[in-house]
Amino acid sequence: MKPWNKCTLAASLFLFCISFSVQAQDIDFSIRYFEKRVYYAGQGPIFIQLTLTNKSASTYRFYLADERVFSIDFDVRTMTNRSLEPSEILIRKRTQNQQVFFREVLIQSGESFSFTEDLNEYAKLDQTGSYVVQARLYPQLYQTTSKVNNPVLESNRLALTLRPAPLAEPGKPAPSLDADTNAILVRQNLPPDQVIEYILTARQKGQWEKFFLYLDLEAMLSRDGVRKRQWMAESEEGRQKMLERYRSDLKNAIVDGDIATIPIEFAVERTNYGAEEGTVTVLEKFRYGTLVERKRYTYYVRRKDGIWVVVDYSVINLGTE
């Protein structure tokens, strides 16, 4: 990983600029939402997936900073073409005195490169309304734009609607909306096997809010001893922040990646439950390149307020087929 250094950067800019100017018209820079969901003003992450595709006949090179704010930017505008203010996180990162570490990324002809960013880290999204989002990529890093002829790639535009946050009961998170129907998602009194089928089907369709509906995030988070001790020491506000962070980490497979992986097929094998607790065993298949991997999941469920929810899980690898 290279630190941003004027000497090392200037030494390569000439050849870099020639390479970029020849290929820029053949580089497709696109953005899309990482997941389909309803977004609320001032709440939760809004993950945007950014993808560069090399349509040229030669290798494309660009610099990508570890702190992405030095490589990309988002232009978020209202329907009256008013640009939103940058977020406090963005201002702080760009104004503090620091070394900027970056790496050179090479995209071969016909290949693509993708990464994901949270839009909330770039713009203040605390007001309801409709917006237009566009990303900009700085192949030679953001802060060199005022000093050299630094080309900029601009993406397609996305429509963004921020809704008022649903009212929550005291001490509980705000209810979620179904992205397809806009109805508030409500837990139903389903038997354990149907709860697991609901969760896995939601994951296959990329419906995160439905996926989380029957997960007891507090119980899942507390499976780890360190997190459990931190949870016990936190205030109510701190616990809500821990839950939001855990949700985000699950989506990004930072923690408990096994439960968030998308199965191509699944079949419930066995269901055992009593009055308050039970287990559901499921055979799941996952595609990895040309291979299909088989895994047996055991989901541990518990009745909470009359509803069966997932509180834990275990996995056994069964090999490939």
Q: Could you report how far apart the first and last alpha carbons of the chain are, in Å?
A: 39
- Give 10-residue mean pLDDT values along the chain (321 residues): 45 42 71 83 85 92 90 94 90 81 91 91 92 94 62 92 68 57 76 95 88 91 85 86 86 81 94 94 92 95 93 93 83
pLDDT at 232: 86
Of 3.20.20.80, 3.10.450.50, 3.20.20.370, 3.40.980.10, which CATH number belongs to 192-320?
Answer: 3.10.450.50
CA 264 to mean position of chain CA atoms: 20
For the chain, give every residue range classified as CATH 3.10.450.50.
192-320
The enclosing H or E element of 258 equals helix 257-260
Region of 224 on the Ramachandran plot (φ > 0 left; ψ -120 to 50 alpha; else beta): beta
pLDDT score recorded for residue 181: 57
* Residue 298 amino acid letter: T
Q: Which residues contact 256 (CB under 8 A, 6 or more apart)?
A: 220, 250
* Residue with token string 């949870």: 231
- Dihedral pair phi/psi, residue 124, rounded to 5°: -80, 110
pLDDT value of position 39: 86
Numbered ranges of CATH 2.60.40.2360 in the chain? 2-163
Alpha helix locations (H) across 77-146?
88-95
Contacts by residues 250-259 (CB-CB < 8 Å, ≥ 24 positions apart): 251/35, 251/47, 251/208, 252/116, 255/224, 256/220, 258/295, 258/297, 258/313, 258/315, 259/297, 259/313
Element containing residue 103 per DSSP (H, E): strand 101-107
Contact 18, 143 (CB under 8 A): no
CATH 3.20.20.140 applies to domain 2-163: no
Q: Is 139 helix (H, G, I), strand (E, B) or coil?
A: coil
